[in-house]
Structure 1
């Protein structure tokens, strides 16, 4: 069985809890810790769950907000378990049949 996983990103909530209500407040705090992101990158980091996040950025966020990675990222199960074909006992469908024609060179 395959279990589909997802996550929730709580950066905006943790920023609000710390009294930061604008994304522009986070940029200088990250820069103090050696993380240099553009305004657009900081905005996306706050407003959208990141697909990739460096460990340095994660550590800096945890330091700024006095939290742990578990406070920032909540792992969830998305939907139900999906049964794989091989495990269900059913065989995979056969590949499609492709007819070919062999042509012999003329004169043989």
Structure 2
């Protein structure tokens, strides 16, 4: 059995609790802590869970929001039980298509 894990990214909720409703509110606060991100990067950071996050950014966010990493990131089980069967792991072999390359006449 395989457990499918996911995360709940709580940055937007924690920002709202600190009366920060614009994603751009974070830009100068991050810069004060040595984190230089564009407005677009901060927007993505706030609106969607990051796949990768540097420890420096995580530490800066925790400092800005007065929280811990556990407040920002909640690990959750998406599918409690995902059972792989032989049929799922090895489907039919892809069809093989033979191709021939022909030279143009006269070469």
Q: How far did 1:85 drift?
A: 4.2
Runs of 4+ with deviation above 6 angstroms: none
The root-mean-square deviation of aligned C-alpha atoms, in Å, is 2.1
Q: Which structure carries more helix by proportion?
A: 2
Q: 1:48 is matched with which residue?
A: 48
Q: 1:12 is matched with which residue?
A: 12
After TM superposition, the score normalised by the length of structure 2 is 0.77
Q: How far did 1:25 drift?
A: 0.7
Q: How far did 1:47 drift?
A: 0.7
Q: Distance in 2 between matches of 1:24 and 1:82?
A: 40
Q: Distance in 2 between matches of 1:40 and 1:71?
A: 24
DSSP-derived class of the 2:7 partner: strand
Q: Gaps (5+ residues) in structure 1?
A: 87-91, 97-108
Q: 2:37 is matched with which residue?
A: 37
Q: Distance in 1 between matches of 2:47 and 2:69?
A: 17
Q: Distance in 2 between matches of 1:26 and 1:82?
A: 39
Q: Distance in 1 between matches of 2:60 and 2:40?
A: 18
Q: Gaps (5+ residues) in structure 2?
A: 94-107
Within 5 A, what are the aligned runs for 1:25-104? 25-85=25-85
Q: Distance in 1 between matches of 2:14 and 2:78?
A: 23
Q: How far did 1:84 drift?
A: 3.8
Q: Distance in 1 between matches of 2:84 and 2:17?
A: 43
Q: Tell me the matched-pair count.
A: 92
Based on CA coordinates, which of the two structures has the bigger radius of gyration? 1
Q: Which structure carries more strand by proportion?
A: 2
